[in-house]
Amino acid sequence: MIPRLFPLPRPARFALFYSAFYIGFGAYLPYMPVWFEARGLSPEMIGAAGAAAMAGRVLAAPLGAYLADRAPRRRMAVAAFSIAALLIFLAHIPAHEPWLIVALAGLAGGAYTGINPIIDAFAMGESRRRRFAFGPPRAIGSAAFILGNVGCGALISLLGGEAALYWTLGGAGLAVLASFWLPEGRRAPAPPKGVPRPGVRAALLAGGMPMAFAASALIQGGHGFYYTFSAVAWKAQGIAPAWIGALWATGVAAEIVFFTLSARYMARFSPAMLMALGGGAAIVRWGLLSLSPPLAALFALQGLHALSFGATYLGFLRYASDQVPDRFAATAQAVNSALSGGLVLAAASFASGFAYAAFGAGGFAVMAAPALAGMICALALAKRRRSGP
């Protein structure tokens, strides 16, 4: 009913949802630990809540996406996850018992982060079928992430840690409303009887997908030291917190520029070569950051986030969109999310603690190893595609 009253072009509908989702996600990702602390959780329990959120992402998101692939309309799946996230965040309000908060963190990790692979698969599939660029709507989401990050940070400074939950809750509510403006995304009709129709396992193992999963997970997981210790390392280098925030914003801004221009300048690269480009940029980025360069050089190096994250992310999306049947698109993205943003990133973050203790900022260089392995996988995948099956 709402889309009929206020019709929007398809790219604008996805841009609206991405902006609504990421304005909340930009608060959820960095600031929920601040809310945990405001509720009196000990450092150990905050760690447990963070681990529960990651476990929720690894376990629930692929299962949810698998079910979403069977929904008669993609929009229904996005709306269902958005509503579930909103209700879970509402349940946070009266929660004070530490283990209840940890349990809610796990549920939120599955529901809220589970939206990512579903909407990405939906948007990429629609962009291919309807012939519009995926990059600009996604870039608007990245811009909203910065707004959520900066805005929620300012609100916390005024009102305290409780503000983190209410900003996130507001973003989840906006995502619910925006989900109703998405296209219906009807599933393709089933093929006639007798026509082979591979199952999800066969679909995810065909067309070089295992190598694509490995390339994406290794390159993206190699951001573990950056996500966990960059602020600590830069602070130890004598850089003020305000400049550290600006460095992070620069990385996201570079990502926005990349997504905005990707349709024009990156179409010449195959999906596998985009991932290889991301791996190569990551090797350069982590190697140079390990040398503790001056602030001006740090800003320049943050521009490589456009490739180490952006090119890898877009390359996998495009590869999976080309190789995996549409009915399993969300499942493929969820498996990738569970690997790159879950298992491999968790392992890299764990190893980063030892790397920082041993080498300080030099620990950035350790992340060049998974980036190199991921680039090799991507190059092997590109060679495989050129030489045929």
Same domain, 175 and 221: no
Same domain, 249 and 167: no
Same domain, 94 and 234: no
Same domain, 99 and 210: no
Is 194 inside any structural domain?
no
Same domain, 213 and 321: yes
- C-alpha torsion angle, residues 205, 211, 217, 220 (rounded to 10): -140
Taking the C-alpha atoms of residue 33 and residue 47, their distance in angstroms, rounded to an integer, is 9
Same domain, 174 and 208: no
Number of domains in the chain: 2
Is 189 inside any structural domain?
no
Q: What is the extent of the structural domain holding 79?
A: 2-179
Is 20 inside any structural domain?
yes
Same domain, 335 and 280: yes
Is 74 inside any structural domain?
yes
Question: CATH number, domain at 24?
Answer: 1.20.1250.20
Which residue, of 146, 179, 212, is where some domain finishes?
179
Same domain, 111 and 217: no
Which residue, of 134, 149, 179, is where some domain finishes?
179
Is 26 inside any structural domain?
yes
Is 51 inside any structural domain?
yes
Same domain, 290 and 334: yes
Same domain, 227 and 372: yes
Same domain, 290 and 340: yes
Taking the complete model, does pTM exceed 0.85, yes or no?
no
Same domain, 122 and 226: no
pLDDT (tens, 9 = 90+) of the chain, 389 residues, equals 555 556 778 889 999 999 999 999 988 887 888 888 889 888 778 878 877 887 787 777 777 777 777 777 888 889 999 999 999 999 999 999 999 999 999 999 889 988 988 888 888 888 888 888 888 898 999 899 888 888 888 888 888 889 989 999 999 999 999 999 999 877 655 555 555 566 777 878 887 899 999 999 999 988 888 887 787 788 888 887 678 778 888 888 898 899 888 877 777 889 999 999 999 999 999 999 999 999 999 999 999 999 999 999 999 988 988 888 877 877 888 888 888 877 888 788 778 888 888 898 899 999 999 999 999 999 999 887 665 54
Is 171 inside any structural domain?
yes
Is 192 inside any structural domain?
no
